[in-house]
Each structure stands twice: as structure tokens, then as C-alpha cells.
Amino acid sequence: MCTNYLMAETLPAKLIRTVLLVDDHEMVLRALHNYLEKKGYNLLEASNGEEALVIAECYPAMIHVLVTDLIMARMNGRELVQRLLPLRPEMQVIMMSGFPDEIMAQRGLTPQVPILRKPFLPKRLLEAIEEVLASPQSERTVASLIQLTSETAAHGSGA
């Protein structure tokens, strides 16, 4: 499975930041992909969590930022982050959602992680990506988010 992906993907010749964009709405993926690519980013895109996991496993270079929708069929954004832990623990995370209740709940769990409310202008995502790349924080990494989620769940269950 990885071989096909690697053959289709060409690595950039110079240092370009790579963003893994995950959303189950094709129009959102297309619009964000085109905009960010024009701004000089290398874009990897997935229409669901399973696709994102394959890309994360197979892509041979660093993926700097994960931009994921919180609410998707089969695997939501939180589950995707958990499953990415062994593959890409250092990857910075940006989340997005069109559901205000989900945004509020996630902000409570991970206050350091940018969460964009849909709909938003592509420029807003560009600003969020530039911010996390200019000032990477361990609190925004896949590994940190897993730890925060685990601690919150343990405290909430009375453990």
C-alpha cells in the first residue's frame, strides 16, 4: 500500500513545510488545498481518518502540521490524533469544526490547539498554520494531545 503512495508522491527539492489536511467534505479539501499550495506548502490530503493514517505511515518525510476536522464519519478527529501517536508524535495539530458545541468541548480539553470554526476563509487557516510553525509548542503535538485527553478522562471518571 505504501509503495503506490510513494511512487505517486514526489518529494520537494527544497525545504517546504508539509501539511496533512483531513476533511470528509471534498469541496473543503479542494479549496484549502489549492489555496495553501499557492502559498508554497506541500499538501497531503485525506478524505477520512483511515486515509490520513496510511499517508502518515507511508510519507517518507516530516509532516509538520495536521489540520483535521473534528467530526467525520468512521473516525473523528480526536480518534485520528490518538492513532497518529506512534507514527507522528511531534506533528503540530490544528482542528476545525462546523459544530459550536464540539469546538467548545475541544477548547476545554486542549486550550493550546487552534480550533477554527467553519466556515472560515482559507487565509484564517494559513494564519493558524504560520502561527504554529513559527512558534511550535509541545502542547500542540499529537503526543501532548493524547496525554491531555487521557488525564482529562481519568479525572472525569473519578480515577
Q: CB burial class (10 A; 0-12, 13-18, 19+) of residue 54?
A: middle
Inter-residue contact 94 to 66 (CB < 8 Å): yes
> Which residue in the block uniquely carries the three cell numbers 471518571?
157
| pLDDT tens-digit readout, 88-140 | 999 999 999 999 888 888 877 778 889 999 999 999 999 999 999 998 888 88
Q: Report pTM.
A: 0.83
Torsion, Cα 117 122 126 129, to 10 degrees, reads: 40
Task: Please state which CATH number belongs to domain 14-154.
Answer: 3.40.50.2300
| pLDDT tens-digit readout, 6-59 | 444 555 445 689 999 999 999 999 999 999 999 999 999 999 999 999 999 999
Inter-residue contact 36 to 62 (CB < 8 Å): no
Q: Tell me the three cell numbers of residue 20.
A: 496533512
- In 3D space, the residue among 36, 46, 67 whose CA is nearest the CA of residue 140 turns out to be 67
Q: How far apart are CA 65 and CA 63, in angstroms?
A: 6
49 contacts: CB under 8 Å, gap ≥ 6? 22, 68, 72, 74, 75, 76, 77, 79, 80, 83
Distances, alpha carbon 47 to alpha carbons 5, 21, 111, 112, in Å: 15, 8, 26, 25
pLDDT for the residue numbered 12: 47
